[in-house]
């Protein structure tokens, strides 16, 4: 028996613990996938900013062949 008086092998408690563990595992997996997508989005956003800056620069600076 535990401090709270229920037996250590209480099947309801054991079942709830297993469910909770499964939910936590799903949550951790979903968070890991979200982190991967967030990093990819950040990288894409950075690349987008770089490309936009390059386009703005090229629009402002005449090509060297045009004299």
Q: Among 65, 13, 48, 25, which Cα is nearest to 4's?
A: 13
Q: Which two tokens stand for residue 42?
A: 């950040």
pLDDT tens by residue, 3-61: 666 556 799 999 999 999 999 999 999 999 999 999 999 999 999 999 999 999 999 98
Q: Where are the domains of the chain?
A: 12-56
* Contact status, residue 8 vs residue 2, Cβ threshold 8 Å: yes
Check whether 2 has a pLDDT greater than 70. no
Q: How many angstroms separate the CA atoms of 17 and 39, rounded?
A: 33
Q: Which two tokens stand for residue 7?
A: 């037996």
Check whether 64 has a pLDDT greater than 80. no
pTM more than 0.85: no
């Amino acid at each position: 028996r535990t401090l709270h008086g229920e037996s250590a092998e209480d099947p309801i408690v054991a079942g709830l613990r297993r469910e909770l563990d499964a939910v936590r595992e799903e949550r951790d997996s979903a968070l890991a996938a979200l982190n991967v997508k967030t990093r990819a989005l950040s990288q894409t956003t950075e690349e987008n900013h770089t490309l936009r800056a390059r386009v703005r620069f090229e629009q402002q600076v005449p090509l060297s062949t045009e004299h």
